[in-house]
Amino acid sequence: MVKKWRIVTFFVIVLALAGVISQTVMNTAKGINLGLDLQGGFEILYEVSPAEEGEELTDETMQATVSALNQRVNVLGVSEPNISIEGENRIRVQLAGVEDQQTARDLLATEADLSFRDVDDKERLSGDALEENGASVGFTRANEPIVTLSLKDPNEFGEVTENIISEYNQPNNRLVIWLDYEEGDSFSEEVQKEDPKYLSAPMVNQPLYERDIQIEGDFEIQEAEFLAEVLNSGSLPVEMEEIYSNAVGASLGEEAMDNTIFAGFIGIAMILAYMMVYYRFMGVIAAVTLSAYIYIVLLIFNWMEGVLTLPGIAALILGVGMAVDANIITYERVKEEIRSGKTILSAFKAGSRRSLSTILDANITTILAAGVLFYYGTSSVQGFAVMLIVSILTSFLTAVYGSRLLLGLWVSSRIFNKKPRVFGVKEKEIHES
């Protein structure tokens, strides 16, 4: 007896899936940030000079600056920037998918050099006194964002505040906190301005022998977070001056993206066609789960706000391959079981069970490798690894469980009982045991 409701369930699931995908796929695809190589971005060219006069710029300092910049760009949530050294003293930073260019500029160029000065601009305490990674964002009672800093030595700050109190009277008993103080900046000038260059200038009324200090500077929450992150990611070993900034085109060329997408569609269409020809009915199931796979990967990547680059596409192709492979492994196994004389239902069950451990081991090994690439890799290598991990997890979900669910509905409806040809097995191949 054929259980029709299972087949009905199958069509309901497939139609629902088709509905969701066709309604949202365009927005999902458009929402994905494309990398510099695929769509371009914007770039800044910096001229680098030594932090201290008289020092020389060596290859190592340039390299250290590039690593520090890489770290800062990570703070921006941009993956795979293109940072290159040009000539002796220039660094070109290219960023894809950055919406707030000004923040990016500020974050990149700051020397992250914090200093505490008196109203006559004499340095009382330098950024060296800060504990590493000691900056964080907090809130006052009035819910204003503040930046909390940890000092290495509480006595140092106590002495500084004591000196300020003893040397200055109100209203000049201030401790002015500067970020990137430069020769020529002065408190007396800046205090008149509406948007002074210093961060804040609190009055000191009593000596503060404390390890944690707070900066209240009328921050917006983003500003406070930005300051804390910059202080934590460390200062640059050099000074950088922006020479110019500019929009840049895709490094792979203008038509690269369109062509690649078109080629991708053709490739996937060929895969689906092949699967349906070779595996007949099971191939149709594979086509459904592969479509779901591609859609889900794009969706997750969109949620993660990842930046898709060519290495990412490479990982996606590998993911498609592994998803197809998981289907093929299962179907070959099911066919083998049918040939050995099992009924369709028990062949399906045995085939699914046996193929699972194969797929699991292969996927775990590849994920393990991808995890290492992510952990030790930089930029492109890391981007590749992220996409690969997402792809494998998704392919496992769709190709193993999705396939099993959909195929299971048909098999257990019993409509295919004694019809091995539907699965691509000829009757004469079956060996009754």
Partner 1 sequence: MNLNHSKRFIPFVKHRNKFFIFSAVFTLVGIILLFTVGLNLGIDFQSGSKVEVLAEDTLTEDQVAEDFSQAGSGYEPDEITLAGDNNEMAYASFVGTLSQEEIAEIQTYFNENYGQEPSVSTVSPQVGQELAQNALISVLIASVGIILYVTIRFEFWYGAASIVALLHDAFFIIVVFSIVQFEVNVPFIAAVLTIVGYSINDTIVTFDRIRENMSYEEEITSFDDLARVVDLSLNQTLVRSINTVLTVVFAAAAIFFLGGEAIRSFSFALLIGLVAGTYSSLFLASQLWLSWKWKSIQRGWNKPKEEDPEDLEPEV
Q: How far is the CB of 72 from partner 1 (least distance, A)?
A: 16
**Which region among 11-19, 118-126, 298-306, 379-387 touches partner 1 (by CB under 8 A)?**
379-387
Considering the complex, state which of residue 11 and residue 274 has its C-beta at the smaller distance from partner 1: 274
Question: Which of 180, 181, 227, 178 shows the shortest CA–CA distance to 198?
Answer: 178
DSSP for residue 184: T
**What is the footprint of partner 1 within residues 128-167 (CB under 8 A)?**
none
134 beta partners: none
The torsion angles phi and psi of 135, rounded to 5 degrees, stand at -90, 140
d(Cα 115, Cα 125) in Å, to the nearest integer? Answer: 6
Is the backbone peptide bond immediately before 171 cis, with ω within 30 degrees of 0?
yes
Considering the complex, state which of residue 6 and residue 105 has its C-beta at the smaller distance from partner 1: 105
Contact 338, 425 (CB under 8 A): yes
Interface pattern 341-360 for partner 1 (x via CB under 8 A): -------------x--xx--
Site for partner 1 contains 421 (CB under 8 A): no
d(Cα 338, Cα 425) in Å, to the nearest integer? Answer: 8
Q: How far is the CB of 231 from partner 1 (least distance, A)?
A: 26
Site for partner 1 contains 25 (CB under 8 A): no
**What is the footprint of partner 1 within residues 181-210 (CB under 8 A)?**
none
Site for partner 1 contains 304 (CB under 8 A): no
Considering the complex, state which of residue 295 and residue 384 has its C-beta at the smaller distance from partner 1: 384
Residue 160, CA distances (Å) to 115, 128, 293, 347 in order: 12, 14, 61, 81
**Which region among 58-66, 110-118, 144-152, 172-180 touches partner 1 (by CB under 8 A)?**
58-66
Considering the complex, state which of residue 172 and residue 340 has its C-beta at the smaller distance from partner 1: 340
Considering the complex, state which of residue 165 and residue 362 has its C-beta at the smaller distance from partner 1: 362
Q: With CB under 8 A as the rule, give the number of residues binding partner 1.
A: 80
**What is the footprint of partner 1 within residues 81-110 (CB under 8 A)?**
82-87, 90
**Which region among 115-123, 135-143, 322-330, 401-409 touches partner 1 (by CB under 8 A)?**
322-330
d(Cα 166, Cα 234) in Å, to the nearest integer? Answer: 33
Among 52, 53, 59, 99, binds partner 1 (CB under 8 A): 59
**What is the footprint of partner 1 within residues 204-263 (CB under 8 A)?**
246-256, 259-260, 262-263
d(Cα 194, Cα 60) in Å, to the nearest integer? Answer: 41
**What is the footprint of partner 1 within residues 262-281 (CB under 8 A)?**
262-264, 266-268, 270-271, 274-275, 278
Considering the complex, state which of residue 77 and residue 253 has its C-beta at the smaller distance from partner 1: 253
d(Cα 373, Cα 385) in Å, to the nearest integer? Answer: 6
Residue 39 has a CB neighbour count (10 Å cut-off) of 21
Among 112, 282, 288, 322, binds partner 1 (CB under 8 A): 322
d(Cα 428, Cα 317) in Å, to the nearest integer? Answer: 37
Q: Which amino acid is residue 230, in one-letter code?
A: V
Considering the complex, state which of residue 44 and residue 407 has its C-beta at the smaller distance from partner 1: 44
Nearest-5° Cα angle at 395, 392 to 400: 125
Considering the complex, state which of residue 19 and residue 253 has its C-beta at the smaller distance from partner 1: 253
Q: How far is the CB of 87 from partner 1 (least distance, A)?
A: 5
Considering the complex, state which of residue 139 and residue 262 has its C-beta at the smaller distance from partner 1: 262
179 beta partners: 114
Residue 86, CA distances (Å) to 30, 66, 237, 243 in order: 34, 12, 17, 13
Among 215, 227, 370, 407, binds partner 1 (CB under 8 A): 370
Structure tokens, 380 = 């492109």
d(Cα 131, Cα 109) in Å, to the nearest integer? Answer: 22
